């Protein structure tokens, strides 16, 4: 059953007036991402958010700065192919606007994933992007947040997965500090995620995380995660 119900435990904020007669299902909701701002992110480059700075981690939906403490609940992978912004770049598809999403998938056996998300036999870069995602709870934030690690931050995602896996127990039994650090290459300066273990999560954090695990873990394919263009995911 996909209809969203509010348990007596208070797993989701209890709706007030105005929602009468509205049967909200998971596919009706947008789960925000933890967005790591880069210098070219619209929040900064276009002045869309007052006080926005490169290296900040914000709620992609509300634009609020997120707390640094996070409790991962469950992990999943996703794959995306974005149209290059440069029309001369390999893989550009004139049927789509520059920077538009061409396809997305959460199925590792999807033929598109098999064909376009792996390096070529001669080391050619994949056309599609692989994301390692964590459905997470940020204490003090009323909505769940998805942590997505891709490109140069993918290594950090593997670090978080390894820390959570090797420590044993439920994934949400430990909390982590989420941060960002600047790096520089031949294309310029950009920020990548960092994670550090903070030890065991609190009883309240575990209670909230388990509620969301029960509600969302087996229906993640039905949930809409807030997606943005490739340039906004990471510089």
**pLDDT, tens digit (0-9, with 9 covering 90-100), for 73-111:** 999 999 999 998 888 888 889 999 888 889 999 999 999
What whole-number distance in Å separates Cα of residue 64 and Cα of residue 57? 9
Spatial contact of 224 and 146, defined as CB atoms under 8 Å apart: no
Report residue 47: phi and psi, to 5°.
65, 35
Q: Is the pLDDT of residue 64 over 60?
A: yes
CA angle centred on 123, ends 230 and 231, rounded to 5°: 10
Spatial contact of 138 and 69, defined as CB atoms under 8 Å apart: yes
Confidence of residue 228 (pLDDT cuts 50, 70, 90): low
- Residue spans of the domains in the chain: they are 26-79+135-233
Rounded to the nearest angstrom, the gap between the alpha carbon of residue 95 and the centroid of all alpha carbons in its chain is: 27
The pLDDT, as a whole number, for residue 1 is 36
> DSSP code of 213?
H
Spatial contact of 11 and 208, defined as CB atoms under 8 Å apart: yes
Higher per-residue confidence, 125 vs 12: 125
Average pLDDT over residues 31-60: 94
For the entire predicted model, the pTM comes to 0.85
Percent of the chain residues topping a pLDDT of 70: 89
The pLDDT, as a whole number, for residue 137 is 97
- The mean pLDDT of the chain is 87
């Amino acid at each position: 059953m996909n209809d969203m119900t509010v348990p007596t435990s208070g797993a989701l904020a209890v709706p007030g007036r105005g929602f009468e007669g509205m049967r909200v299902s998971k596919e009706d909701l947008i789960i925000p991402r933890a967005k790591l701002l880069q210098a070219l992110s619209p929040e900064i480059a276009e002045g869309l958010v007052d006080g926005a700075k490169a290296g900040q981690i914000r709620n992609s939906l509300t634009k609020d700065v997120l707390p640094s403490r996070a409790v991962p609940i469950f992990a999943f992978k996703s794959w995306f192919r974005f149209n290059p912004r440069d029309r001369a770049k390999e893989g550009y598809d004139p049927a789509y606007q520059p920077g538009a999403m061409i396809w997305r998938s959460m199925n590792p056996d999807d033929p598109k994933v098999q064909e376009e998300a792996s390096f070529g036999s001669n080391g050619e870069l994949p056309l599609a992007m692989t994301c390692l995602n964590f459905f997470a709870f940020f204490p003090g934030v009323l909505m769940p947040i998805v942590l997505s690690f891709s490109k140069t931050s993918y290594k950090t995602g593997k670090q978080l997965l390894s820390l959570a896996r090797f420590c044993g127990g439920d994934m949400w039994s430990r909390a982590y500090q989420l941060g960002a650090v600047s790096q520089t290459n031949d294309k310029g300066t950009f920020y990548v995620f960092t994670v550090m273990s903070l030890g065991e999560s609190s009883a309240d954090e575990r209670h909230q995380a388990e509620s969301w695990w029960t509600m969302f873990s087996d229906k993640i394919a039905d949930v809409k995660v807030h997606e943005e263009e490739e340039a906004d995911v990471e510089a």
